[in-house]
């Protein structure tokens, strides 16, 4: 394992998650109102193959960006990057990134309390998704090629 310094960075990580999911939820709501059909209660819903579009968008905005450019939009804006626990400065694989983000709802439960508790109480400042995926989050300035 390379000597990479991890820090809780809870404020930056909270902001990054907020930015990422604000983009994802905004897209989803606009998409549902644009392509959805109103039901008997006046609520909009999307059915059939169109229902997969928000899920695909989620995958691109989280897993796709981490694999392709090394960070989500939120992490890029706040100067953070998720890397393997080994400390090697590389983009995450599909499996690593998918595992990290699949449990985002757990980490974000009760306004991020679960994530904050695990980040502040694990040796490498990992949230539940990082523990499962074997990843850490570091500041870009702490990385070396």
pLDDT band at 145 (very low <50, low <70, confident <90, very high): low
Domain total for the chain? 1
Q: What is the mean pLDDT of residues 19-25?
A: 97
Query: Which tens digit of pLDDT belongs to each residue from 34-55?
Result: 999 998 888 999 999 999 999 9
Q: What is the mean pLDDT of residues 87-109?
A: 94
5 lies in some domain? no
pLDDT band at 6 (very low <50, low <70, confident <90, very high): confident
User: Which of 142, 13, 25, 124 is closest to 77 using CA atoms?
Assistant: 13
User: Residue 121's pLDDT is what?
Assistant: 94
Determine the structural domain holding residue 104 and report its residue range: 10-142
3 lies in some domain? no
137 lies in some domain? yes
53 lies in some domain? yes
What b/e sequence results for 124-140 when a residue is b if at least 16 CB atoms lie within 10 Å of its CB, and e otherwise? bbbbbbbbebebbbbbe
Q: Is the pLDDT of residue 1 over 70?
A: no
Model-level pTM?
0.89
Q: What is the mean pLDDT of residues 110-135?
A: 93
Contacts of residue 71, defined as CB under 8 A and 6 or more positions apart, other chains included, come to 65, 80, 81, 82
Task: Please state, in angstroms and rounded to a whole number, the distance separating the CA atoms of residues 142 and 145.
Answer: 10
CB 82 within 8 A of CB 75: yes
32 lies in some domain? yes
- Token pair, residue 37, equals 């059909």
């Amino acid at each position: 394992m390379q000597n990479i310094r991890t820090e809780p960075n809870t404020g930056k990580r909270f902001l990054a998650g907020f930015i990422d999911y604000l983009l994802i939820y905004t897209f989803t709501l606009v998409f549902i109102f644009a392509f959805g059909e109103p039901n008997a209660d006046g609520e909009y819903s999307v059915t059939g193959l169109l229902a997969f579009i928000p899920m695909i968008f989620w995958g691109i905005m989280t897993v796709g960006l981490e694999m392709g450019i090394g960070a989500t939009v939120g992490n890029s804006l706040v100067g953070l990057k998720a890397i393997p626990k080994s400390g090697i400065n590389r983009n995450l694989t599909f499996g690593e990134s998918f595992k990290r983000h699949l449990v985002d709802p757990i980490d974000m439960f009760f306004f991020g309390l679960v994530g904050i508790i695990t980040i502040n109480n694990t040796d490498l400042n990992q949230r539940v998704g990082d523990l499962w995926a074997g990843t850490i989050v570091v500041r870009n300035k702490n990385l070396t090629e």
